[in-house]
Amino acid sequence: MLLAVLSGFIIATITPLAGKLFRSKWSVGLTAVPLALFIYFLSFIPAVSNGQVLLFNYEWVPSMGINFNFLLDGLSLLFALMITGIGALVYLYTSSYMKDDPGLDKFYGYLSLFMSAMLGMVMSDNLFTLFIFWELTSISSFFLIGFDNENKESRKAALISMALTGLGGFFLLAGFAIVANITGTYTISEMMGSGDIFKDHPLYIVIIICFFLAAFTKSAQFPFHFWLPGAMKAPTPVSTYLHSATMVKAGIYLLARFTPLLGDHIYWNNTLMIVGGITMVYAAFHSILKKDLKEILAYSTISALGMLVFLLGLGHAEAFIAMAVFIVVHALYKATLFLITGILDHETGTRDINRLSGLRKVMMPLAIAGFLAVLSNSGIPPSFGFVGKDLIYSATLHSETLAIFITVAAVVTNIFLLYSSFLAGIKPFAGKLPSEYKDVHMPDWRMWVPPLICGIAGIVFGIFPMLAEGSIIRPAVSAIAPEVPEFHLQLWHGFNTVLGLSAITIIVGILLYVIFKPNDRHNAWMNKFESFSPKSIAAGVNKLFMKFAVTWTNLLQNGYLRIYVLTVISFLTILLAYKAFTVSSLDINLTKISALTSAEVAVMVILIVSVLYAVYSPSRLAAIAAMGVIGYCICLVFIFYSAPDLAMTQFTIDTLTVILFLLVMYRLPKYVLYTNKLIRIRDAIISLIFGTLITLLALEVHHEPTNKETTRFYAENSYALAKGKNIVNVILVDFRGMDTMIEIIVLSISALGVFALLKLQLNEFDREI
């Protein structure tokens, strides 16, 4: 199982290293991988349909409790079959669709990365492995959307989608962190049954907000939906695979997986119903206004995703059944339509719905596939879509709240979806064939067979719904709902309200198709509202955010060294003052301090004068000289306290520092007085406060009893053990000889630096960074 899940990663690693092999016609061989996986997962159907939950555990990072714990139940099997099944078709299709692309090997690499990530995600029983795979799907999607990397629009779309799904990802991580904290385990199957812990937990709201943000960004729910139409810049196989059949359903998967834990709560259900409801109506409405085939399909996908979220929000078993069926239905017909769109684009060079017509005359098998997909999409019997739509209507009718209102919403959505499916699946093939497309011919079989298979599957499941029922739908639903009522998928339920609603949908939809034609005027009309759309609002927010970032950064990083120093000192002063007044008791005893001698007083006066001079001097040179004087005064102080060796060191260092400073200053522009009086007063006040605080600190330390252990040890042993009579010398060269040695090295390094500063003059050509 580990190999099965990770096989895509292995391919992704091999492809860049395999050179030309996967750029050639042999790339079609890669189709074997998803196909084999599909068959492999099919083999689990008997076990899973018996209600078994299969667990596979492989250690990875056991110290952290993050392992490859894979779980195969109905829900994950449903997704796994979709991922590998549609994956196999897309791989086959790609080998012809992209055969002239020089980056074909990379394309397969990213695609395989995605497939593995998606498989891993739906199989993960471990929170953080799930998260890892979740993020990997986003990353592979980023690379695939930006595959046509020299196209500005592609890059922009890749950035927007990555930013949104990435943001959601971080919230998911946060959500998982809280969930793990509450339950004390990372394993999802161990958490099952602890739903009440969450619902009573004070952090429940935070958790579901995190989950919602993750799921809604990933599954393109309003108001985060706008990345998905942009993502259609990716090559068509990607749109088919990632952005309609699988990846965008990751959010749905997440919500479904955690429904037993977090669901059945008023906040959970209502949010999902409202967001899903808005999304499905909003996107379905948009889908009828577009005339680019891919855009139409993008919006109808968003609408379908909204429908799924909405069904999850209804929260009863019937709705879950409808959802499970609809996932399959949608994957099949949407894949067909996308693949067909790809072929049309490939062969005719346009996706404009108004320019395409009559192509059935040259592409009969495709027309059949399109027709079958439309049947399923519109919910016309005997398709699987009909079964699905019936289930949706009966689920909305049986809702406890607002049954009528939400049923109307579902009907309206379905009408729009029917209309847009006619546009995508029938319009290009019906009517007269324009002369410009007379020479259009069927593509390679690798391209037209996959959509046909998908289209046929949609009908086969419709006629024989029992094929899907026990094998996959029931186990999937039982993973979400606590108890699954007895149900049978069937085409014919007899005459009832649901059938009536279906009839209304189909009739109104077809009427709409006959009357309403997509054109630029509609789109232009819609564009008037563009500034209120989530996309524009997001752009506005982004702009505001950038403005804030610029202001904040310029405020702090203003380029003035003096402000930096001021900030640092003020920060320290505030902290010190706070501490000094709250915790430390000021208790200073001046009697301990010995009296000053006249020489000391003289040195102090020189010191203070030089400090003031350094501060007030208008010339840099003079200021540096004054600094030198200060250093020498300190040397004198050392001498007064009988430390001539220290004084010598200080003397050397000080001289060197002054020279270094001069060299640096020499290259700076002329000294200009920028500050006004007010600023200088402010600086003086802060300096005084800071100086006072440090002085107080020094005095207070002086007041504390000192531990003389070290001093005593040095005094006792400097002659006895170290054979030196001068304690200071012994400390410098023996007790702490290491320090001295390193300080000597410091001096040598500075000498090196001074030498380079003085001598190394680079010319323009050598200054490259």
Residues from 1 through 30 that contact other proteins (CB under 8 A): 16
User: Strand 66-72 to strand 54-61: parallel, antiparallel, or no bridges (unpaired)?
Assistant: antiparallel
Number of residues that bind other proteins (CB under 8 A): 107
In the complex, the smallest distance separating the C-beta of residue 58 from other proteins, rounded to whole angstroms, is 12
Q: Quick one: which segment of 192-200, 223-231, 283-291, 581-589 binds other proteins (CB under 8 A)? A: 581-589
> Does 708 sit near other proteins (CB under 8 A)?
yes
Task: Give the footprint of other proteins on residues 640-659 (CB under 8 A).
Answer: none
In the complex, the smallest distance separating the C-beta of residue 646 from other proteins, rounded to whole angstroms, is 14
Among 54, 163, 499, 510, binds other proteins (CB under 8 A): 163
Task: Give the footprint of other proteins on residues 300-319 (CB under 8 A).
Answer: none
Q: Quick one: which segment of 73-81, 440-448, 486-494, 566-574 binds other proteins (CB under 8 A)? A: 566-574
In the complex, the smallest distance separating the C-beta of residue 95 from other proteins, rounded to whole angstroms, is 20
Residues 6+ apart with CB under 8 A from 392: 307, 311, 322, 326, 410, 414
User: Between the CA of residue 323 and those of 113, 125, 327, 392, 394, what are the distances in Å?
Assistant: 27, 22, 6, 8, 12
For residue 411, what are its two tokens?
A: 């009907």
In the complex, the smallest distance separating the C-beta of residue 738 from other proteins, rounded to whole angstroms, is 4
In the complex, the smallest distance separating the C-beta of residue 41 from other proteins, rounded to whole angstroms, is 24
> Does 39 sit near other proteins (CB under 8 A)?
no
Q: Which is nearer to other proteins, 46 or 753 (CB)?
A: 753
- Count Cβ atoms below 10 Å from residue 505 Cβ, excluding itself: 24
In the complex, the smallest distance separating the C-beta of residue 153 from other proteins, rounded to whole angstroms, is 12
In the complex, the smallest distance separating the C-beta of residue 736 from other proteins, rounded to whole angstroms, is 6
Angle CA 131–227–75, to nearest 5: 40
Using the CB atoms, write b or e for 446-476: b if 16+ within 10 Å: bbbbbbbbbbbbbbbbbeebebbbebbbbbb
Task: Give the footprint of other proteins on residues 718-737 (CB under 8 A).
Answer: 734-737
> Does 159 sit near other proteins (CB under 8 A)?
yes
Determine phi and psi for 564, rounding to 5 degrees. Answer: -60, -50
Task: Give the footprint of other proteins on residues 196-255 (CB under 8 A).
Answer: 203
Query: Cα–Cα distance between 685 and 43 in angstroms, integer?
Result: 81
> Does 503 sit near other proteins (CB under 8 A)?
no
Among 73, 87, 107, 135, binds other proteins (CB under 8 A): 135
DSSP characters over 649-683:
HHHHHHHHHHHHHHHHHHTSPPP-----HHHHHHH
Q: Which is nearer to other proteins, 51 or 737 (CB)?
A: 737
Q: Quick one: which segment of 46-54, 322-330, 432-440, 543-551 binds other proteins (CB under 8 A)? A: 543-551
> Does 593 sit near other proteins (CB under 8 A)?
no
Helix (H) or strand (E) holding 70: strand 66-72
> Does 64 sit near other proteins (CB under 8 A)?
yes
Segment 538-541 long-range contacts (CB within 8 Å, at least 24 positions apart): 538/223, 538/226
Q: Quick one: which segment of 56-64, 358-366, 450-458, 513-521 binds other proteins (CB under 8 A)? A: 56-64
Look up tokens 């009966």; give the residue: 394
Q: Which is nearer to other proteins, 9 or 371 (CB)?
A: 9
In the complex, the smallest distance separating the C-beta of residue 707 from other proteins, rounded to whole angstroms, is 3
Number of H helices and E strands in the chain, helices first, is 33, 2
> Does 678 sit near other proteins (CB under 8 A)?
no
Amino acid identity for residue 586 in this structure? L
Among 10, 556, 588, 688, binds other proteins (CB under 8 A): 556
DSSP assigned state of 43: T
Residues 6+ apart with CB under 8 A from 592: 702, 703
In the complex, the smallest distance separating the C-beta of residue 645 from other proteins, rounded to whole angstroms, is 17
> Does 715 sit near other proteins (CB under 8 A)?
no
Q: Give me Rg for the CA atoms of the chain.
A: 37
Q: Which is nearer to other proteins, 52 or 740 (CB)?
A: 740
Q: Is 438 helix (H, G, I), strand (E, B) or coil?
A: coil
Query: Cα–Cα distance between 428 and 296 in angstroms, integer?
Result: 13
> Does 571 sit near other proteins (CB under 8 A)?
yes
Among 21, 402, 549, 593, binds other proteins (CB under 8 A): 549
Task: Give the footprint of other proteins on residues 255-284 (CB under 8 A).
Answer: none
Percentage helix, strand, coil for the chain under 3-state DSSP, each rounded to 5: 75, 5, 20
Q: Quick one: which segment of 20-28, 283-291, 383-391, 580-588 binds other proteins (CB under 8 A)? A: 580-588
> Does 760 sit near other proteins (CB under 8 A)?
yes
In the complex, the smallest distance separating the C-beta of residue 184 from other proteins, rounded to whole angstroms, is 11
Longest Cα–Cα distance of the chain, Å, equals: 116
Q: Which is nearer to other proteins, 439 or 766 (CB)?
A: 766
Among 266, 515, 590, 668, binds other proteins (CB under 8 A): 668
Which residue, 562, 581, 513, 592, is CA-closest to 682?
562
Please answer whether residues 189 and 55 qualify as being in contact, where contact means their C-beta atoms are separated by less than 8 angstroms.
yes
The gap from C-alpha 603 to its chain's centroid, in whole angstroms, comes to: 64
Q: Quick one: which segment of 27-35, 60-68, 286-294, 485-493 binds other proteins (CB under 8 A)? A: 60-68
Among 18, 611, 700, 728, binds other proteins (CB under 8 A): 700
Torsion sign over Cα 316, 457, 111, 286: negative
Q: Which is nearer to other proteins, 161 or 269 (CB)?
A: 161
Please state the three-class secondary structure of 161-209 as a single string: HHHHHHHHHHHHHHHHHHHHHHHCCCEHHHHCCCHHHHHCCCCHHHHHH
Q: Quick one: which segment of 306-314, 423-431, 596-604, 738-746 binds other proteins (CB under 8 A)? A: 738-746
In the complex, the smallest distance separating the C-beta of residue 141 from other proteins, rounded to whole angstroms, is 12
Task: Give the footprint of other proteins on residues 169-188 (CB under 8 A).
Answer: 170-171, 173-174, 177-178, 180-181
In the complex, the smallest distance separating the C-beta of residue 171 from other proteins, rounded to whole angstroms, is 7
Q: Quick one: which segment of 235-243, 290-298, 400-408, 661-669 binds other proteins (CB under 8 A)? A: 661-669
Which residue, 282, 213, 226, 215, is CA-closest to 542?
226
> Does 66 sit near other proteins (CB under 8 A)?
yes
